[in-house]
Amino acid sequence: MKWLPQLSKIVGKEHLLTSAADLLAYESDALSLFRCEPAAVVLPNNQQQVVDCVKILSAANVCFTARGAGTGLSAGALVPKGGVIIGLNRLNNILKVDAASRLAVVEPGVVNARVSQHVAQYGLRYAPDPASQSVCTIGGNVAENAGGPMCFRHGSTTNHVRQVKVVLADGSVETWGHPAHGNDGIDLRGLFCGSEGSLAIALEIHLNLTPLPEAVRTSLVSFESIENACDCVSAIVEEGIEAAALEVMDQQAIHAVEDSLYRSGMPRDAGAILIVEIEGDSDYVKSQQTLAEECFSRTGALSLKMAVTPAQRALLWKGRKNAGGALGQLAPDSYVMDGVVPPSKLSEIMRFVDEVAQRYELPCANLFHAGDGNIHPHFAYDGGDALQSKNVEDAGCEILQRCLDIGGSITGEHGVGLEKQHLLAAQYGVEEINIMLRISNGFNPQQLLNPNRGLPLGGGCAEAFHRHSRDVSR
Ligand SMILES: Cc1cc2nc3c(=O)[nH]c(=O)nc-3n(C[C@H](O)[C@H](O)[C@H](O)COP(=O)(O)OP(=O)(O)OC[C@H]3O[C@@H](n4cnc5c(N)ncnc54)[C@H](O)[C@@H]3O)c2cc1C
């Protein structure tokens, strides 16, 4: 392994991790069902160091995977045995803000929330706001085409990336897209967004900034059941109300938040709540709020609480955005799913999720970006128990298959990763997957860069990462 001292020479020995204790944190992302210890983790400090590391690994024929904060939920930031993780957290500079052009240029390790905090002084924000935004990185967001509550109105990450500078698997550096929008020819920038780190590694990203709204109204509406809350979402979407965010949480999720340090005064007795945020100029907000309140009444709302001051609004969002973390208290592991259905089918899929959870005897909570029909059942389980691990995956498969059956998708924002490879053909068909594979091979011919992520390269590849593959016959 003569490449190890070569990497050490580039980054310094304190930034090359090889001990079992150091590698432990890198053997999975936030989906702990899949694990694999890398041979090493290298932590470059600047773009040139990333390029130099890639060149060394490529020449040595060693596979490698870029990693941001490791909050991914589809096992995307893992590397096969013998491979190396390139951690990008030290590339965390906001390189430039051009307020007049509504542009920010950032390095991939910049944490999402930092961008909005930094540009607020110019009356701007970075709109995509994953619930994990206080830790996840822009590089990871671009690779997963991340969404978030505000993406219902503003669109997901790909709509906010103008240009990316990348390093390819062979160490060559390219720039895709244009800082002033517009694409001629094939949109390589668009192809990169959502490619799950398998085409190239982002070194520098040009982000589109959005003006802060003049007025915001945030309503917390409670309902007797999750079906009522989902019906209200359908009514709002049907009415054509342009809410910025429509977020549903069920009683299990509400209780987890209220039992945690993120408590934000959510009604414990509600079967479910809906958070509706409307933004724009004051007259527009007022008119849309009136229409929304008619939808609340029509669909059986029990109560309406407004977050009036910025502090009240921040508290409410703190509860919603930390609900995933709060649910982590329930069991040693959680499996956070990601599927999509047409918004009119939300009630139907929620009934199915409940039936599946009961059948497999798995505690389940739901919190999701309802406006986009993007569901996130959270299963609490013990990964040390092989049967529970198998049950949780089988339950997940059934739910995603049902999403497809009713006109939805197996992923809204978390990506395919290793988790959903086996379902990809059911969504796209073999011919389309073959086209994707040809594109992937064009960029990554030796499959050294994040191999086998998203696209299935061979039968049972994901199996090698399974924490319980030895224990359960699958
Ligand atoms: C509690 C919780 C809440 C979440 N809420 C949301 C949500 O609301 N919306 C949402 O979309 N997601 C959500 N997620 C999932 C996750 O936060 C996102 O997928 C996020 O974009 C991952 O960013 P990361 O920096 O952690 O990336 P990682 O997990 O480190 O990596 C994810 C993928 O990106 C690739 N990658 C990382 N950096 C680069 C780079 N520079 N160049 C190329 N590829 C790269 C990796 O190889 C990997 O395939 C949530 C996760 C958690 C734990």
Q: Can you tell me whether residue 247 is helix, strand or coil? A: strand
For 406-441, how does the pLDDT look when each residue is reduced to its tens digit (9 = 90+)? 999 999 999 999 999 889 889 999 899 999 999 999
CA 93 to ligand 1 center in whole angstroms:
18
Q: Taking CA 280 as the corner, what is the angle to CA 277 and CA 282, rounded to the nearest 5 degrees? A: 105
Q: How far is CA 5 from CA 2, 11, 18, 19, in A?
A: 6, 10, 12, 15
Q: Give the residue among 18, 21, 28, 26 at the shortest CA–CA distance from 467.
A: 28
Which pLDDT band holds residue 469 (cuts at 50, 70, 90)? very low
Q: Flag whether 260 is in a domain.
A: yes
Q: Whose CA is nearest to atom 8 of ligand 1?
A: 130
The ligand 1 atom nearest the CA atom of 322: 1
Helix 386-405 and helix 346-359: axis angle, to 10°? 160
Which pLDDT band holds residue 182 (cuts at 50, 70, 90)? low
Residue partners of 222: CB distance under 8 A and separation at least 6: 267, 270, 272, 273, 301, 302, 303, 304, 305
The ligand 1 atom nearest the CA atom of 192: 43
DSSP for residue 333: E
Which pLDDT band holds residue 1 (cuts at 50, 70, 90)? confident
State the CATH number of the domain containing residue 75. Answer: 3.30.43.10
Q: Flag whether 464 is in a domain.
A: no
**Residues 299-333 as b or e (16 or more Cβ within 10 Å = b):** bebbeebebeeeebbeebbbbbbbbbbbbbebbeb
pLDDT at 183: 62
Which pLDDT band holds residue 195 (cuts at 50, 70, 90)? very high
Of 51, 69, 87, at which residue does a domain stop?
87
Helix (H) or strand (E) holding 472: none
Q: Which of 32, 43, 64, 73 to mutate to test the pocket of ligand 1 (most atoms within 8 A of CB)?
A: 73
**Whole-angstrom distance, CA of residue 145 vs CA of residue 196:** 8
Evaluate if residue 473 carries a pLDDT over 70.
no
What is the residue type of 151? C
Q: How far is CA 225 from CA 248, 259, 358, 374, 399, in A?
A: 11, 20, 17, 18, 20
State the CATH number of the domain containing residue 230. Answer: 3.30.70.2190
Which pLDDT band holds residue 455 (cuts at 50, 70, 90)? confident
Of 54, 87, 120, at which residue does a domain stop?
87
pLDDT at 451: 87
Q: Flag whether 209 is in a domain.
A: no
Residue partners of 26: CB distance under 8 A and separation at least 6: 17, 37, 38, 41, 67, 70, 85, 87
Q: Flag whether 340 is in a domain.
A: no
- Tell me the torsion sign for CA atoms 74, 76, 82, 84: negative
Q: Whose CA is nearest to atom 13 of ligand 1?
A: 130
Evaluate if residue 309 carries a pLDDT over 80.
yes
Which protein residues are within 6 Å of ligand 1, measured from CB? Answer: 29-30, 65-73, 76-77, 88, 108, 130-132, 136-137, 139-141, 143-144, 146-148, 196-197, 201-202, 324-325, 413-414, 450, 453
pTM above 0.85, yes or no: yes
pLDDT at 467: 52
Evaluate if residue 357 carries a pLDDT over 90.
yes
Mean pLDDT of 310-334: 94
Q: Taking CA 113 as the corner, what is the angle to CA 107 and CA 119, rounded to the nearest 5 degrees? A: 75
Q: Flag whether 48 is in a domain.
A: yes
Q: Whose CA is nearest to atom 44 of ligand 1?
A: 197
The ligand 1 atom nearest the CA atom of 141: 21
460 or 375, which is more confident: 375
Evaluate if residue 468 carries a pLDDT over 60.
no
Residue 343 sits at φ, ψ, to 5 deg, of -55, -30
Q: Whose CA is nearest to atom 27 of ligand 1?
A: 140
Evaluate if residue 463 carries a pLDDT over 50.
yes
Give percent of the chain above pLDDT 90. Answer: 90
Q: Can you give the C-alpha Rg of the chain in angstroms? A: 22
Evaluate if residue 49 carries a pLDDT over 90.
yes
Evaluate if residue 238 carries a pLDDT over 90.
yes
**Contact indicator for 207, 162 with CB cutoff of 8 Å:** yes
Range of the domain at 256: 215-327
Domain count, the chain: 2
Which pLDDT band holds residue 181 (cuts at 50, 70, 90)? low
Mean pLDDT of 264-282: 97
pLDDT at 472: 29
pLDDT at 185: 80
For 117-137, how does the pLDDT look when each residue is reduced to its tens digit (9 = 90+)? 999 999 999 999 999 999 999
pLDDT at 464: 59
Mean pLDDT of 42-51: 98
Of 295, 327, 359, at which residue does a domain stop?
327
Q: Flag whether 82 is in a domain.
A: yes
**Residues 32-58 as b or e (16 or more Cβ within 10 Å = b):** bbbbbebbbbbbbeebebbbbbbbbbb
pLDDT at 184: 67
**Contact indicator for 254, 318 with CB cutoff of 8 Å:** no
Q: Flag whether 126 is in a domain.
A: no
Evaluate if residue 465 carries a pLDDT over 80.
no
The ligand 1 atom nearest the CA atom of 197: 44
Question: Taking all residues of the chain, what is their mean pLDDT, rounded to a whole number?
Answer: 93
pLDDT at 388: 94
Q: Flag whether 358 is in a domain.
A: no
Least confident of 82-96, 183-197, 218-232, 325-339: 183-197
Task: Name the pairing type of β-strands 64-67 and 84-87.
Answer: parallel
Q: Which of 29, 32, 71 to mutate to test the pocket of ligand 1 (most atoms within 8 A of CB)?
A: 71
CA 70 to ligand 1 center in whole angstroms:
6
Q: Whose CA is nearest to atom 2 of ligand 1?
A: 132
Least confident of 34-48, 72-86, 158-172, 420-434: 420-434
The tokens describing 238, both together, are: 């049907």
- Residues, the chain, total? 474
